Amino acid sequence: MFNQPIRSPVLIGREREVATLQTLIDQARQGRGQVLLLSGEAGIGKSRLLAEGKRQAGEQGFLALQGNCFPTDRSAPYAPLLDLLSSSQTQDLLSSPAEPEPLARELARLFPGLLDHASGETPLQPLEPEQDKRRLFVALSQFFTGLADTQPVLLAVEDLHWSDETSLEFLHFLSRRCAAHRLFLVLTYRHDEMHPGLSKWLAQLDHEFVSTLFSKAEVEAICGPSFIGPARCRHQPSMPSMA
């Protein structure tokens, strides 16, 4: 009994704000992909809000995948994606016989040794850096949207203020292609620790998507009254693919 974690009862209520989060999950489940940005100071409750979204999504049959950024990741390309793809859950998905071999080869090129079953393939010819990056972006986006074609997916990446710029570029690429898929992309960051690359990335999203914000009261209703501060949530509605 004493080893049980303490949970806020507010998280399981039926407040209007929780219903708003549920609405976004419903839209993603119906094939209208969504992108959600959660920002706030350290300890404000972003992870609690994300956990509530994962709980609600799980109840509707979503597959939840998560990658995390760490303070040393600013100079490590694809660090949060490597964190996500290296998890045992994602490894099982990548090892599935249904996984297309061309995609497996591209992922093996990005992360050598990540996929055992692709290690024996003939290496692809090297490309120019931008061409190589583009192929990797396409392969990764096909992997995530392909999963969403089979089962709705909630894909979370935490602490983007520590992310490398290449990962941010890929997340922008993916966000522009999730509209027609059952994909819910949830991203968190600390607004008081943004680096120039993240600021530029957010400006690009603001230019392409219409945003709405959760008020402080809405965040408190979801996360509990102990989390106080200027946390906010941006909802990027579905939009036509720009492929």
Q: Give the relative orientation of helices 216-223 and 46-59 as an angle to the nearest 10 degrees.
A: 60
Q: Using CA atoms, how far apart are residues 20 and 17, in angstroms rounded to an integer?
A: 5
122-159 as b/e, with b when 16 or more CB fall inside 10 Å?
Answer: eeeeeeeeeeebebbbebbbbbbbbbbeeebbbbbbbb
CA-to-CA separations, 12 to 32, 59, 119, in angstroms, rounded: 25, 13, 46
Taken in order 43, 47, 49, 52, is the CA torsion positive or negative?
negative
Structure tokens of 19? Answer: 């219903």
CA–CA distance, 152 with 82 (Å, rounded to integer): 21
Helices (H), 111-183: 129-150, 165-175
Q: The sheet that has 34-39: what strands, in order across it?
A: 63-68, 153-158, 183-189, 34-39, 232-236
Is residue 14 scored above 70 in pLDDT? no
* Residue 174 clears pLDDT 60, i.e. is over it: yes
Two tokens, residue 45 = 């409750």
**43 alpha-carbon distance from chain centroid:** 20
Q: Of 201, 202, 172, 160, whose CA–CA distance to 69 is shortest?
A: 160
pTM for this entry: 0.76
pLDDT band of residue 41 (cuts 50, 70, 90) is confident
CA distance 150 to 121: 27
What is the per-residue pLDDT across 18-28, written as a single tens digit (0 to 9) for each? Answer: 676 888 899 99
Hunting for tokens 């949970």 — which residue is that? 7
pLDDT tens by residue, 128-155: 767 778 888 888 888 899 899 999 999 9
- For residue 63, which amino acid is it? L
Residue 209: CB partners within 8 Å, gap ≥ 6?
Answer: 35, 234, 236, 237, 239
pLDDT digits (tens, 9 = 90+) for 71-120: 998 888 889 988 888 887 777 776 665 555 556 677 766 666 665 544 44
Show the tokens assigned to 61. Answer: 């049959």
Report the C-alpha gap between 167 and 49 in whole angstroms.
23
- Select the more confidently predicted residue: 238 or 64: 64
- 204 phi/psi in degrees, rounded to 5: -65, -40
How many angstroms separate the CA atoms of 151 and 62, rounded? 6
